[in-house]
């Protein structure tokens, strides 16, 4: 077999590792790739693992395009350099570090801690795995300047990652994201990284922060009396081997729910995620064991959180008493409807409240906000932009809640990232509230569609791996931007929002309007029949994502299935017309 050609620049990067002060095991792995697996060498070195605006995420292994001691160390050195520049007035700069269940979790957490303390930064390191929202909470509680979460969210087991937070508890936004990236890019040699940690600057934290977080979470409850009446609704919860394993059941218990059942096999903390193909609560397979358990015990609600417990997927019983998995838009609609209704019933609304959603999330949430007289904001994809609005309005308006279609939701503002722990508690409370009205969550969802219109949304993610895949995704976005579709599913495209150019093109009236949001590689097409199609490359996975949204009036509950099938068929036709399947 002919040996695969390896580009000279890739060999040059590999040789830097072979001849530099890297560990023996890494050098042996590189030699093996050169001799036996040149394609893996290419994938490992064809680029530097990007320290993006949210941090690092990549496959674990040897090389510049992999998560390892050296890429993590260089990124952390850049972050330390920036923090030291930005907080000269702070006598002792501090950072909080947490980690989820990923393989090498404590290793990467300790490398991060060592580099920070070696640079004079005090580190609060959690003593065991913790959810991402608790990391966000702890930053504010401990008045730290930065935070790092070692996680790859819902990615497959081969991945790990590194999310960076600022002193407000939110992920980095402009200008800090860009500036931290620039500082990280200046660190081009591992000899510039100080790995020799100062243990006197490292402290462990644990249960005391759990307690403060849970106490704050309990203040979110809006219907304690209803929970007392319906405390025994049966709930099955699974952490899918991740960080929700302790805090979610505890939160449900402290809210007052007494019939919470687990899936023992998935309570086992493991970065190998043995019981699932992918630890992603968006995927039906990830919830299968929990749904089977719910059928066995007669439960009505299933909840599953991803490895770092910032996203939650739920399954509910339909009219046939079978379990169906709700998408992120539907879960957000249920939570938003409940929150707005109870805030009004409890006489908490005074016209000074607001909610936030992302641009690819259902417009139904905006309709709800308008009805209740609550201000609403649309932001780019990514919860850091929701957190930024909360920060901007802090002390001026009250944040009720908000979320994104990718199964992330936040209630209240003491956390500044999506929070599946509080979301699970509030979903259970919503279920109790629905039960008090003689409804299941599925019935409540239909009532919402009856009131506001039937919104149907779905997502297709097209996977394109590696160097070739990244280039293909880029080419697709260029093609959509330069040659946008004029007709989609026999309906004229009447407007286009290009968030990279920051222009809204009103094609019907030949008007161009400025989009007042940061630049982002996202395109949205709006058709004459009311369809909305969004296209964007994933920021964390080798995918290009297509979001589809259509709607129709629902005049009576009895028409639900008919309208559902009509909207589903319409989206399928849109997908076919765009030649995605």
Q: List the structure tokens of 563.
A: 């309208």
- Per the residue annotation, which of 153, 223, 406, 520 is the catalytic one? 153
Output the CA–CA distances (angstroms, integers) from residue 65 to 42, 47, 273, 346, in the order listed. 9, 6, 24, 53
In eight-state DSSP terms, residue 65 is T
Based on the residue annotation, tell me whether 153 is a catalytic residue of this protein: yes
Distance of alpha carbon 431 from alpha carbon 454, whole angstroms: 21
In eight-state DSSP terms, residue 556 is S
Q: List the structure tokens of 22.
A: 């890297």
Q: Which of 251-278 are b and which e, b meaning 16 or more Cβ less than 10 Å from the residue's Cβ?
A: bbeebbbeebbbbeebbebbbebebbeb
Instruction: List CB contacts of 498: < 8 A, sequence separation 6 or more.
Output: 481, 504, 505, 515, 522, 523
Instruction: List CB contacts of 525: < 8 A, sequence separation 6 or more.
Output: 484, 485, 488, 493, 495, 496, 532, 533, 534, 535
Taking alpha carbons only, the member of 386, 368, 369, 388 closest to residue 378 is: 386
Output the CA–CA distances (angstroms, integers) from residue 519 to 171, 380, 466, 503, in the order listed. 17, 9, 25, 10
Distance of alpha carbon 396 from alpha carbon 154, whole angstroms: 35
Query: Nearest-5° angle of CA 67, CA 71, CA 75?
Result: 120
- Give the CB-side neighbour count of residue 388, counting CA atoms within 13 A: 19
Cβ-defined contacts of 59-68 (< 8 Å, 24+): 59/158, 59/159, 60/103, 60/104, 60/158, 60/159, 60/160, 61/29, 62/17, 62/26, 62/29, 62/30, 62/33, 63/14, 63/17, 63/30, 64/13, 67/104, 67/108, 67/159, 67/160, 67/161, 67/162, 68/26
Checking DSSP bridges between strand 491-498 and strand 487-488, what pairing results, if any?
antiparallel
Distance of alpha carbon 426 from alpha carbon 447, whole angstroms: 19
Q: What dihedral do alpha carbons 257, 258, 259, 262 form, nearest 10°?
A: 80
SS3 210: helix
Distance of alpha carbon 148 from alpha carbon 418, whole angstroms: 15
13 within 8 A of 45, measured Cβ to Cβ: yes
Bridge partners of 536, per DSSP, are 545
Distance from the first to the final alpha carbon of the chain: 35
Sheet harboring 353-358: ordered strands across? 375-379, 353-358, 398-404, 408-411
424 within 8 A of 312, measured Cβ to Cβ: yes
311 within 8 A of 410, measured Cβ to Cβ: no
Q: List the structure tokens of 146.
A: 């930065």
For the annotated catalytic residues, the residue numbers are 153
């Amino acid at each position: 077999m002919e040996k695969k050609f390896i580009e000279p620049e890739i060999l040059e990067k590999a040789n830097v590792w072979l001849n530099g002060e890297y560990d023996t095991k890494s050098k042996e792995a590189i030699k093996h790739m050169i001799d036996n697996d040149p394609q893996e060498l290419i994938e490992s070195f064809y680029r530097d693992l990007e320290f993006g605006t949210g941090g690092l995420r990549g496959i674990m292994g040897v090389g510049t395009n992999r998560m390892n001691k050296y890429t993590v160390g260089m990124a952390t050195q850049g972050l330390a350099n920036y923090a030291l520049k930005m907080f000269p007035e702070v006598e002792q700069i501090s950072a909080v570090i947490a980690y989820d269940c990923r393989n090498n979790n404590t290793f990467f957490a300790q490398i991060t801690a060592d580099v920070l303390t070696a640079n004079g930064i005090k580190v609060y390191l959690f003593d065991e795995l913790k959810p991402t929202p608790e990391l966000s909470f702890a930053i504010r509680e401990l008045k730290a300047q930065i935070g790092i979460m070692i996680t790859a969210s819902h990615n497959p087991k081969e991945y790990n990652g590194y999310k960076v937070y600022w002193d407000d508890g939110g992920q980095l936004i402009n200008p800090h994201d860009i500036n931290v990236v620039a500082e990280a890019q200046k660190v081009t040699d591992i000899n510039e990284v100080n790995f020799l940690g100062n243990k006197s600057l490292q402290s462990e934290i644990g249960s005391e922060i759990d307690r403060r977080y849970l106490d704050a979470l309990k203040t979110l409850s809006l219907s304690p009396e209803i929970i007392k009446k319906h405390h025994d609704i049966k709930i099955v919860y699974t952490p899918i081997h991740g960080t929700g394993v302790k805090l979610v059941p505890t939160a449900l218990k402290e809210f007052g729910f007494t019939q919470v059942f687990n899936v023992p096999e998935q309570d086992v903390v493991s970065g190998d995620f043995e019981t699932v193909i992918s630890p992603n609560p968006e995927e039906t397979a990830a919830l299968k064991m929990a749904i089977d358990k719910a059928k066995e015990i007669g439960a009505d609600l299933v909840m599953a959180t991803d490895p770092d417990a910032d996203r939650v997927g739920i399954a509910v019983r339909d009219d046939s008493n079978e379990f169906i998995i709700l998408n992120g838009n539907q879960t957000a609609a249920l939570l938003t409807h409940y929150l707005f209704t109870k805030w009004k019933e409890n006489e908490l609304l005074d016209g000074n409240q607001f909610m936030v959603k992302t641009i690819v999330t259902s417009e139904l949430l905006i309709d709800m906000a308008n009805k209740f007289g609550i201000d609403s904001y649309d932001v780019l994809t990514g919860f850091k932009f929701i957190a930024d609005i909360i920060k901007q309005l802090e002390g001026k308006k009250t944040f009720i809640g908000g979320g994104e279609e990718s199964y992330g939701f936040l209630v209240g503002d003491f956390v500044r990232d999506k929070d599946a722990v509080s979301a699970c508690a509030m979903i259970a409370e919503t279920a109790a509230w629905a039960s008090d009205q003689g409804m299941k969550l599925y019935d409540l969802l239909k009532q919402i569609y009856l009131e506001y219109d039937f919104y149907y949304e779905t997502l297709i993610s097209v996977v394109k791996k590696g160097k070739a895949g990244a280039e293909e995704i880029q080419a697709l976005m260029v093609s959509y931007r330069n040659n946008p579709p004029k007709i989609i599913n026999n309906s004229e495209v009447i407007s286009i929002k290009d968030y990279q150019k920051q222009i809204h093109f009103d094609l019907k009236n030949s008007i161009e309007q400025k989009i007042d949001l940061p630049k982002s590689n996202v395109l949205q097409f709006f058709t004459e029949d009311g369809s909305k199609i969004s296209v964007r490359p994933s920021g964390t996975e080798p995918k290009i994502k297509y979001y589809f949204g259509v709607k129709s009036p629902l005049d009576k509950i009895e028409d639900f299935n008919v309208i559902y099938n009509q909207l589903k068929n319409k989206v399928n036709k849109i997908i076919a017309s765009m030649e995605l399947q």
